[in-house]
Amino acid sequence: TDRAKKTGGTVHEPIATATVIGAGIMGQGIAAANLKRGVAVRLSDAQPEALAAGVASVVREASYNKKTKAADLELALHNAALIAGTNDSTQLAAADVVIEAVIEAADVKRSLFAQLEPLLRPDALLASNTSTIPITTLAHGLERPELFCGLHFFNPVRKMPLVEVIRGKQTSEATVERMAAYARQLGKTPVVVNDGPGFLVNRLLLPYMNEAALLASEGVPFKLIDKAAKGFGMPMGPLELHDVVGLDTCVHAGRVMQAAFSDRVTGAPILERLLAAGRKGQKNGAGFYDYP
């Protein structure tokens, strides 16, 4: 059709409507990436305040004008009409693709899928933005696991070109191709990877981050750790990166990696301590560092 785009020899209808579940750091970034490419978005979140703040922030980001360094009013009105914040399952299910970006907990993700999948169109794609949880285990209980895969964006979504398309055991080749085409439609660079805890990027990244948290647990000053890593060439230090990711997410993802790779990854006590003190990272103003 006219709307179809050629990708890798196969013709795929571009995605016109996307649903993003979870309006946190990643859900907002993913929703904004869709709006920027004219894809209509429905955004949802279990917490009404998070949903309202999320919709506003997505519209702001998608309407940002680099030249004037402010939101373009006309674009903002256009974008505000393209996005709806809702927790109505029927509305959320009426999309070409549904991307889940809620907390890193398998049971929460699975119960969401169980609720939404029966309402989806028969050919709708379903994806999880999980950092670490194997796609094949998240697919347990799905009626159409062939239409499900991992679609792993990186933080901050507006800056990071990479998207991992994760092929679960039951994901069909057609789904992998449609998802990769969708990632390209959003201006991203998809890499198709096989399933497994942490997939590819987080197999590399999380042990490195965890090792930094272990050093911090041993009493090495935070700033020294970050300074050394930056001096070595990293764009930001590993403890700063913990704060950007969110310490709660780091702990959840860390547990998946510790269970899978107990020979290599051990939990860093400082993370649990900081979290117990209410420090979740940049998202609530305090993590390893303070963000007043």
Residues near ligand NAD (CB under 6 A): 21-27, 44-47, 50, 101-104, 108, 112, 129-131, 154-155, 245-246, 249, 253, 283
252 catalytic residue (yes or no):
no
> Between the CA of residue 184 and those of 57, 147, 201, 257, 258, what are the distances in Å?
23, 18, 19, 29, 33
Question: What is the amino acid identity at position 235?
Answer: P
Residue pair 247/287 in contact (Cβ under 8 Å)? The answer is: yes
**Within 13 Å and on the Cβ side, how many CA atoms surround 43?**
34
> Between the CA of residue 172 and those of 53, 86, 141, 182, what are the distances in Å?
36, 30, 17, 15
Q: From the candidates 12, 152, 242, 252, which is the catalytic residue?
A: 152
Which is closer to ligand NAD, CB of 15 or CB of 21?
21
Name the residue number minimizing CB distance to ligand NAD.
Answer: 24
Least Å distance, CB 189 to ligand NAD, is: 15
Which is closer to ligand NAD, CB of 178 or CB of 280?
280
Question: What is the amino acid identity at position 3?
Answer: R
List all residues 6 or more positions away from 275 whose beta carbon is below 8 Å from its beta carbon. 247, 248, 251
Which is closer to ligand NAD, CB of 12 or CB of 29?
29
Least Å distance, CB 233 to ligand NAD, is: 21
Which is closer to ligand NAD, CB of 22 or CB of 287?
22
List all residues 6 or more positions away from 144 whose beta carbon is below 8 Å from its beta carbon. 117, 122, 126
Q: Which residues pair with 127 in a beta bridge?
A: 99, 149
Q: How far apart are the C-alpha atoms of 52 and 22, rounded to whole Å?
A: 12
DSSP-derived letter for residue 189 is E
Which is closer to ligand NAD, CB of 96 or CB of 164?
164
Q: How far apart are the C-alpha atoms of 116 and 20, rounded to whole Å?
A: 12
Cα dihedral 205, 245, 213, 228 sign = positive
Catalytic machinery residues: 152
